[in-house]
Amino acid sequence: MRTSIIKNVENPLQIKQQLATWAQQFREIIFLDSNSYPQEYSSFDCVLAVDAFTSLKTDYYNAFDDLKQYQESTKDWLFGYLSYDLKNDVEKVSSKNNDFLDFPDLFFFQPKKVFILKGNTLEIQYLNFCDDEIDYDYATILSTECPINTIVETVHVKQRISRENYLKKVIKVKDHIHRGDIYEANFCMEFFSENTAIDPLQKFLKLNSISKPPFAVYFKNHQHYILSASPERYLRKEGELIVSQPIKGTSKRFLDTTEDEESKNKLASDPKERAENIMITDLVRNDLARTAHKGSVQVTELCKIYSFLQVHQMITTITSKLDSQYAVIDVLKSTFPMGSMTGAPKISVMNIIDELEETKRGVYSGAVGYFTPNGDFDFNVVIRSILYNSASKYVSFSVGSAITSLSVPEKEYEECLLKAHAMLEVLS
């Protein structure tokens, strides 16, 4: 059981930074920020959860069954992530690539302390045995000074796959498409830095400030950090309503308003971008149908253009109504990994991209999010994100693009660099 207290705050932007800064004392932290991005489906402006009372850490084997048992037994707030390699729990696939980050495949924790900000209202929820700490903690938060970035860190970022090698690999993907093995593949490559120490909070605050995405995440589990500026929702459950919003299609932003509008309109009408979006839309529709009331799967927005500070994106919204015979976790298990990060058909694509990619994706192209006490959930897609292991001093981010029969390898490479821009700016 939790004690809940409501506080009115004068400066929501300031309290966000104070919460994130105050949280650094804890071993387990998750800070989710919607950045006031205009969206139809949203529960809060930001949420902070800290200090695990219980937790679940596991590899991919039986991971979804373990998560189901954990979620159903706690019936409380749970925060954490699903890594891409949980695909091995869902299908008969595997990965032989190296993993330099060494994150657990799945990690969730039940926090002792939760802060939920919406407008000028801050709701504080503490587990009952520690609710006598609320007043002291809140006073400490209000007196916390927001960090000033005075640290200059030298981060030498390397590219795992060279431009020449990338172009060759995209041609191999297209060969598979022309042979009829697959229709579309999301092929990714890693950027990394070794023997590097960074200040994770400072890097997150900068990444968030230059991107302002609706699904930003600062996550810490001891030495593992996720600094995410994700614009993409994987899956949301609100009552019986399930919402998926895959992104497929990207174009550049311009300072000149005329150029910017042209870039946006070109994306909206680009046959290649629309084709890749619609293919993934069909995949998501089929995935959602597995746990949906018959006839309830609907495409409510098709190929709509949304603008973010770094890029324009083409997003489709698909909804369904959850059939009551299925558990909360069944929806995640039957749709994971998300089609926007694999391609179609899923199993064939996952095998092919694992052969061509040179590192395990790990948390990248997985999902970070939460479960509410009543069994609702919301998860992002881990893209535009920096991953960091402070023990091994390894920094990593990955980018990718959808390869179809219409893809021009050089343009796909340029799209990857466009997506990498914000992370490179933050690290360099």
Q: What's the per-residue H, E or C state across 373-425?
A: CCCCEEEECCCCEEEEECCCCEEEEEEEEEECCCCCHHHHHHHHHHHHHHHHH
- Taking each helix axis from N to C end, the angle separating 328-335 and 63-74, rounded to the nearest 10 degrees, works out to 160
> Distance of CA 77 to CAs 127, 153, 163, 372, 405, Å?
10, 36, 44, 5, 44
What is the number of other CB atoms lying within 10 angstroms of the CB of residue 140? Answer: 13
Catalytic annotation, pick one of 232, 273, 276, 412? 232
The dihedral of CA 154, 367, 242, 123: what is its sign?
A: negative
Known catalytic residue at 232: yes
- Taking each helix axis from N to C end, the angle separating 12-22 and 200-211, rounded to the nearest 10 degrees, works out to 150
Count of CA atoms in the C-beta half-sphere (13 A) of 177:
21
DSSP 363: T
Known catalytic residue at 248: yes
| AA letter at 360 | K
Place of tokens 């694509």: 349
Catalytic annotation, pick one of 16, 169, 203, 248? 248
Residues contacting residue 136 through CB under 8 Å, at least 6 positions apart: none
> Residue 174 in 3-state DSSP?
helix
Length of the chain: 428
- Element spanning 286, H or E: helix 271-289
What is the number of other CB atoms lying within 10 angstroms of the CB of residue 402? Answer: 28
Place of tokens 């409380």: 76
| AA letter at 383 | I
Whole-number Å distance between alpha carbons of 124 and 313: 35
Residue 337: cis peptide before it, omega within 30 degrees of 0? yes
117-136 b/e with 16+ CB inside 10 Å = b?
beeeebebbbbeeebeebee
What is the number of other CB atoms lying within 10 angstroms of the CB of residue 97? Answer: 16
Q: Which residues pair with 220 in a beta bridge?
A: 29, 225
Q: Which residues pair with 54 in a beta bridge?
A: 110
Catalytic residues: 232, 248
